[in-house]
Amino acid sequence: MLHFLNHIWLQLKETGWVFTIELKRIFRDPGVMVIFILATLAYPFLYKAIYWREQITDIPIAVVDLSRSQESREFLHRWNAAPDIKLAYTCASMGEAEQLLRDQKVHGIIYFPHDYAAQLADPLGQAHISLYCDMSSFLYMKGIYLSCNQVMLESMRNIQIDRYEQMGMDQEFAWALVQDAPYSETALFTPTGGYGSFLIPAVLVLILHQTLLFGICMLGGTAREENKQLFRIPGRRRGWSALRIVLGRAAAYFVIYYALAAILMIALPRLFNLPHIGAVGDLLRFIVPYLLATIFFSMCVSVFIRNRESGLVLLISSSLIFLFMAGISWPKEMIPEAWRYLSYAIPYTAGANGFIHISSMGASLWTTRMEYDTLWMLTGVYFILACCLLFIIGWLHERTEHQQSHAHN
Amino acid sequence: MQREVHQMFARPLYMFASVGVMLLSTFFFLTLMRRGSAEKMPIAFVDLDQTSISRRLCHEMQATPSVDICLITSSYPEAREAMQQGHVYGIFVIPDGFYDDLVAFKRPKMDFYVTNAYTVGGNTAYKQMLTMVNLTSGAFQREVLRKKGLPDDVIMHRIQPLTIEGHMIANPWGNYSVYLVSTILPGILGLICIMLTIFAIGYELKMRTSREWLRTAGGNYTVAMIGKLIPYTIIYLVLGIGCHLILYRFAGFPVYGSHSRLLFGLLLFIMAMEAMGIFLIGCLPTLRDAISIGALYSMLGFSLSGFTYPVMNMLPPVQALSYLEPLRHYYLIYVNEALMCAPTINSLAPALSLCAFMLLSLAIAPRLHKALIYQNYPLK
């Protein structure tokens, strides 16, 4: 029994030794520190600065009003009150307005035909408005369409009431008929509905994922270059030592990143006034499997990186691919099956969705258990894989050394 | 140059990081957004009324292309939990006693909820539910007017006296893929350009082979640099043209202006990214530093180019920053050429800005030249 305890104690000591060595390597390497600390802390602020304004406001619009009527002016007046747009130019013809659009001075055109007022006045008439949208950014379209639609519905109700009154209905009844089934719309969880409060949470999680990936690949590549043997504890045979090395190194990253993740996933949403309705305790627990899965995933990838810098060169584009694959900016229902299954293998997918569910949408850890369990599963899989890969490399290395010593003899 | 071609093929990294990554990204983004607009977004239907009319509403909503009712329930908390789990993007609630109130003109209220945590899904669900409530209201008015004995065509004009015809310029299908992929793929090509340029030059410094490199070029810095970059530029250009053909020929993305001017813009963009690479390795002649900074710098290009979130809406200092990203200028050329079919003169300013990046690489030349000769920068 004593012997067994002694054995465990020795293993723990060795794990601790790997942990200390790894911490030293991280803190003595300015390149890794730039990625781990500087990039992780500076990037959120840069993104917040870029997406500072939540709403797209004052999209410039050109007006082509051929009807020149009281009704069209009223419509424009009402629309201009919407914060989304501003009526920047009044043009005499469509040609003139198209020119403005081509020069990107306006991002939309509203067109009232000659007969606009006449059609409205005619109890059987139907009036048309044409709306042209610049599609160079979808947010223009969203702002222009939705706000114009709102004004259209409102104007339409007034016209309807007028017409029903003309038919001889009493005002009360006409009003009840037009408003027969009113509705209320509520944007849940993110009341501003802004672009920043949607994108930045996903980006925060991505920053943690990618800096870990790049940093660990950098450390792995450097060790390869310097021919340091990450896969061996001096005086120990390979084999079960892979386990201790993987654990020891992971512990070093985990300690640093737990603090960083707490800042990015808990403190910054509050500082930036992003949606943060999740329970802090749930988030603190959610971070654990997310970081572990990412660390072991990165350790598996880093095995294939031979140079310090090549990891960054090869993997930089992966940031965009991971972001889109996770189904946040492009709905997951629209992603082809194959990519969707592949995306579950990347810790970011479950991490980002889980974080958004908890932090932005106030889900409990139990509600978001699918992502939470997925992350623990990934942690297990990548941990075993990382140990196996390390074991294989150690074995390959020993074999070449063996062959070399044979060749010398 | 010959030496460079040798090196290029000797190290699999170069080919893999350029051709491999580009192929993978093109394949990924085109298949990812194969269906360009969001369809059949899952929503929950909370039916507290349980009458024929609420069931009919449910059926009619299910028949629309944009939404898919994947949960019919009579419990709002259940629907809300489904939303928190990311299963649905919207919740439509029919209140208790809806049918009775409707026929009694008591104006029952329908509620709908959307999530903005997932913007595309939430928006699509929102638009469809908004249309639905207005249609419901219209359908009821039609029934009432029919009972009053009015003919159908008269009723239609009563219900819908005003319409808006929407025209989406240059992307009439509202295709998400067209607007996203057209900028992301060149952006990734730019990433490859800047990273590999830094790597190719920085590696000479790191391996202390820069003197040999200069010697091969007869000691001439300009010859050495051009010789080194030509093979890469050719590869990038081939990749760029390949990508252009795939997007605008096979995938059928629209180009209303001139293909050649758009491609010329792409060439300028590639060269500007290479020049930025030279500039960065010239400022920081240590491979590991330059490559980290290069990565941080170029990733920001995607946000700052303004193809998702318009630059005009950013804070003024950030707007100024956006001019420091070549991708921003390429995006402007793309909008002018492909979407707006604008006169060439409109693309001139961004094209000249891209040329200005090339001047940056000349400005740093003396410093980089010295670094190549004296190799006086630390390896780490």
* B205 lies in the same domain as B326: yes
Of A47, A120, A357, the CB nearest to B303: A47
Distance CA B39, CA B380 (A): 52
Residue range(s) defining the domain that contains residue B122: 41-159
Strand ranges (E), B12-161: 41-47, 67-73, 90-94, 110-115
Euclidean distance between CA atoms B221 and A5, whole angstroms: 66
- List phi, psi (to 5°) of A91: -115, 155
Please state, in angstroms and rounded to a whole number, the distance separating the CA atoms of residues B311 and A137: 10
Q: Residues B88, B44: contact at Cβ < 8 Å?
A: yes
Domain assignment present for A4: no
- Res B108: pLDDT: 84
Q: How far is CA A193 from CA B93, B119, B339, in A?
A: 21, 8, 28
pLDDT of residue B203: 85
Whether chain A has a CB inside 8 Å of the CB on B368: the answer is no
Taking only the tens place, the pLDDT of each residue in B297-326 is 999 999 898 888 888 888 898 999 899 999
The whole-number pLDDT of residue A236 equals 56
Q: Are residues A112 and A19 in the same domain?
A: no
When the pLDDT of each residue in chain A is averaged and rounded to a whole number, the result is 86
Is residue B213 domain-resident? Answer: yes
Question: Are A41 and A66 members of one domain?
Answer: no
Tell me, what amino acid is at A68? R
Same domain for A374 and A276: yes
- Report in angstroms the alpha-carbon separations of B47 from B40, B66, B87, B90, B124: 20, 20, 18, 14, 21
Question: Which candidate in A183, A308, A318, A358 is best for mutational testing of the B interface (most B CBs within 10 A)?
Answer: A183
What single-letter DSSP state applies at residue A122? S
A176 at B interface, C-beta within 8 A: yes
Show contacts of A229-238: CB within 8 Å, 24+ apart. Answer: A229/A397, A230/A390, A231/A390, A231/A391, A231/A393, A231/A394, A231/A397, A232/A394, A233/A14, A233/A17, A233/A18, A236/A14, A238/A391, A238/A394, A238/A395, A238/A398
Is 70 exceeded by the pLDDT of residue A278?
Answer: yes
- Report d(CA A335, CA B40) in Å as an integer: 12
pLDDT tens digits, one per residue of B116-144: 888 888 888 888 888 888 888 888 888 88
Beta strands, E only, B158-241: 162-169
Residue A170 pLDDT greater than 70, yes or no: yes
Choose the final residue of a domain: B126, B159, B192: B159
For residue B270, what pLDDT is reported?
94
Predicted pLDDT of residue A345? 93
Q: How many residue contacts between A and B have a Cβ separation below 8 Å?
A: 324
Residue A137 belongs to domain spanning? 59-178
How many of the other CB atoms lie within 10 Å of CB of A103?
14
* Any domain includes B169: no
Q: A73 with A166, same domain? A: yes
What are A36-79's pLDDT values in tens digits? 888 899 999 999 999 888 888 889 999 999 988 888 999 999 99
pLDDT digits (tens, 9 = 90+) for A251-264: 999 999 999 999 99
Based on the domain organization, do A48 and A87 belong to the same domain? no
Contact residues for B67 (Cβ-Cβ < 8 A; gap 6+): B40, B41, B42, B43, B61, B90, B124, B125, B128, B129
Instruction: Judge: B176–A57 Cβ closer than 8 Å, yes or no.
Output: no
Give the whole-number percent of chain A exceeding pLDDT 70: 95
Give me the residue from B174, B187, B303 closest to A50, CB to CB. B303
Is residue B368 in a domain? yes
A102 contact residues in B (CB cutoff 8 A): 336, 340-343, 346
Round to whole Å and give the CA distance between A95 and B57: 44
Q: Give the gap in angstroms from C-alpha A365 to the nearest C-alpha of chain B.
A: 10
Beta bridge partners, B47, equal B94
Give the pLDDT mean for A12-35: 85
Kindly state whether residues B147 and B184 are assigned to the same domain. no
- Do residues B68 and B84 share a domain? yes
ipTM score over 0.95, yes or no: no
Residues B47 and B147 in one domain: yes
Q: Does residue A332 lie within any of the structural domains? A: yes
B42: β partners: B68
Residue A1 within any structural domain of the chain: no
Contact B109 A182 (CB under 8 A): yes
Give yes or no: residues B281 and B366 share one domain.
yes
Tens-binned pLDDT, residue by residue, of chain B (380 aa): 666 666 666 677 777 777 888 888 888 888 888 877 788 889 999 998 888 888 888 888 888 888 889 889 888 899 989 988 989 999 988 888 888 888 887 888 888 888 888 888 888 888 888 888 888 888 888 888 888 777 777 777 777 778 888 887 777 777 788 878 889 999 999 999 999 999 888 888 888 888 888 888 777 888 888 888 888 898 899 999 999 999 888 888 888 888 889 999 999 999 999 999 999 998 888 888 888 889 889 999 998 988 888 888 888 989 998 999 999 999 999 988 888 888 888 888 899 999 999 998 888 888 888 888 887 776 65
A174 in contact with B, Cβ within 8 Å: no
B25, A136: Cβ pair inside 8 Å?
Answer: no
Check residue A409 and give its pLDDT: 59
Residue B335 to residue A104, Cβ atoms within 8 A: yes
Contacts of B321 (CB under 8 A, 6+ apart): B304
Give the strand pairing for B90-94 and B110-115: antiparallel
Note whether B46 and B192 are same-domain residues: no
3-class DSSP state for residue B162?
strand
Task: Please tell me the total count of domains within chain B.
Answer: 2
pTM of the model: 0.90
Q: Are residues B25 and B138 in the same domain?
A: no
A70 and A164 together in one domain: yes
Are A41 and A120 in a shared domain?
no
Choose among B301, B304, B266, B276: nearest CA to B195: B276
What sign does the dihedral B138-B139-B144-B149 (CA atoms) show? positive
What pLDDT, on the 0 to 100 scale, is given for residue A191? 65
Is A313–B130 a contact, with Cβ atoms under 8 angstroms apart?
Answer: no
Which of A47, A72, A135 to mutate to probe the B interface, most B CBs <10 Å? A135
Token pair listed for A68: 């020149």
In a domain, A6, yes or no: no
Based on the domain organization, do A31 and A140 belong to the same domain?
Answer: no
**Residue in A57, A135, A308 closest to B170 by CB:** A135
d(CA B128, CA B63): 11
- Does the distance separating the beta carbons of B299 and A316 come in below 8 Å? yes
**Of B324, B326, B349, the residue nearest B336 (C-alpha):** B349
By the CB < 8 Å criterion, does A169 face chain B?
Answer: no
Cα atoms in the 13 Å half-sphere on the side-chain side of B119: 22
Structure tokens at A182: 């009113």
Contact A286, A355 (CB under 8 A): yes
- Residue at B380 is within a domain: no
- B311 at interface of A, judged by CB pairs closer than 8 A: no
Q: Does residue B313 sit within a domain?
A: yes
Is residue A187, in this structure, part of any structural domain at all? no
Q: Which of A178, A207, A237 is the last residue of a domain?
A: A178
Give me the pLDDT at residue B30, please. 87
Predicted local confidence at residue A298, as pLDDT: 94
Q: Are residues A229 and A324 in the same domain?
A: yes
Last residue of a domain, one of B108, B128, B159: B159
Classify residue B45: in a domain, yes or no. Answer: yes
Query: What's the length of chain B?
Result: 380
Strand (E) or helix (H) holding A41: helix A40-50
Mutation for A interface: B8, B132, B313, B348, most A CBs within 10 A: B313
pLDDT at B8: 66
Would you call A331 and B40 a contact, using CB atoms and an 8 Å cutoff? no
Which residues on chain B are in Cβ contact (under 8 Å) with A126? 157, 160-163
Q: Do A186 and B111 touch (CB under 8 A)?
A: yes
Domain boundary among A178, A208, A237: A178
pLDDT at B186 (0 to 100) = 93
Lowest mean pLDDT among A347-351, A395-399, B119-123, B323-327: A395-399
Residues B263 and B192 in one domain: yes
Q: Percent of chain A scored above 90 by pLDDT? A: 36
Contact status, residue A371 vs residue A350, Cβ threshold 8 Å: yes
Put simply, whether B232 touches A (Cβ < 8 Å) is: no
CATH of the domain at A94: 3.40.1710.10
Å from A31 to nearest chain B CA? 6
Same domain assignment for residues A255 and A154: no
Please give the Cα distance from A353 to B108 (Å, whole number): 36
Map tokens 């350029």 to a residue: B18
Final residue of a structural domain among A152, A178, A204: A178
Q: How far apart are CA A51 and CA B209, in angstroms?
A: 44
Same domain? For B249 and B357 the reply is: yes
Q: Does the beta carbon of B85 lie under 8 angstroms from any beta carbon of chain A?
A: yes
Residues B242 and B105 in one domain: no
What pLDDT, on the 0 to 100 scale, is given for residue A235? 54
Across B9-37, b (16+ Cβ under 10 Å) vs e yields eebebbeebbeebbeebbebbbebbeebe
How confident is the model over A192-246, as pLDDT tens digits?
667 888 889 999 999 999 999 999 998 888 887 776 655 555 555 555 677 888 8
Work out whether strand B67-73 and strand A127-134 pair parallel, antiparallel, or are unpaired.
Answer: unpaired
- The runs of H, that is alpha helices, within B109-150 are 119-147
Q: Is A39 on the interface with B (CB under 8 A)?
A: yes
CA dist A90 to A103, B40, B139, B256, B293, Å?
15, 39, 37, 26, 47
What is the DSSP code (8-state) at residue A326?
Answer: T
- For residues B26 and B52, state if they share a domain: no
Residues contacting residue B291 through CB under 8 Å, at least 6 positions apart: A309, A312, A313, B195, B198, B199, B202
Q: Residues A384-399: what's their mean pLDDT? A: 84
Cα–Cα dist A164/A147, whole Å: 26
Give the model's pLDDT for residue B326. Answer: 93
Question: For position A204, what pLDDT does the model report?
Answer: 94
Site from B169, B280, B324, B341 to mutate, A interface, most A CB atoms within 10 angstroms: B169
Residues of B349-363 as b/e, b for ≥16 C-beta within 10 angstroms? ebbebbeebbebbee
The Cα B161–Cα B121 span in angstroms is 31
- The Cα–Cα gap between B251 and B31 comes to 10
Q: How many helices (H) and strands (E) does chain A have?
A: 17, 5
Number of compact structural domains in chain A: 2
Whether residue A362 is found in the same domain as residue A240: yes
Give pLDDT, residue B53: 84
Do A346 and A381 lie in a common domain? yes
Instruction: Give DSSP secondary structure letters for A337-395.
Output: HHHHHHHHTSHHHHHHHHHIIIIIT---TTTTHHHHHHHHHHHHHHHHHHHHHHHHHHH
Domain final residue pick, B110, B133, B159: B159
Show contacts of A276-282: CB within 8 Å, 24+ apart: A276/A359, A276/A360, A277/A189, A277/A359, A277/A360, A277/A361, A277/A362, A278/A358, A278/A359, A278/A360, A278/A362, A278/A363, A279/A358, A279/A364, A279/A365, A282/A358, A282/A364, A282/A365
Residues of A with CB below 8 A from B176's CB?
138, 330
Of A102, A181, A357, the CB nearest to B110: A181
A positions 46-65 inside 8 Å of B (CB): 46-47, 49-53, 56-57
Is B368 in the same domain as B252? yes
